[in-house]
Amino acid sequence: MFGAAKDAGTEVLHEPRVWPEYHPGYYAVFVRDRDGNNVEAVHHTFPG
């Protein structure tokens, strides 16, 4: 998703990374699309 978003010319608000301030295993990227919408793509990985 991130590569496709960058290729489409979206504004990157926050590069993909782990966000421990939300909860352990919260991995997300934040972009703004060409219409001005903020978009978050997130993956939740919980310790096993």
Per-residue model confidence as pLDDT tens digits over 10-29: 999 999 999 999 998 999 99
How many structural domains compose the chain?
1
Say which amino acid occupies 33.
D
What share of the chain in percent tops pLDDT 90? 62
CA 7 distance to own-chain centroid:
15
Place of tokens 């919408």: 37
**pLDDT over 70 at 1, yes or no:** yes
Q: What is the pLDDT of residue 25?
A: 92
Please give the C-alpha separations between residue 4 and each of 20, 24, 31, 47, 48, in angstroms, as whole numbers: 25, 26, 11, 29, 31
Residue 46's Cβ-side half-sphere holds a number of Cα atoms within 13 Å equal to: 1
**pLDDT over 90 at 8, yes or no:** no
Mean pLDDT of the chain: 90
Residue 33's domain comprises 2-44
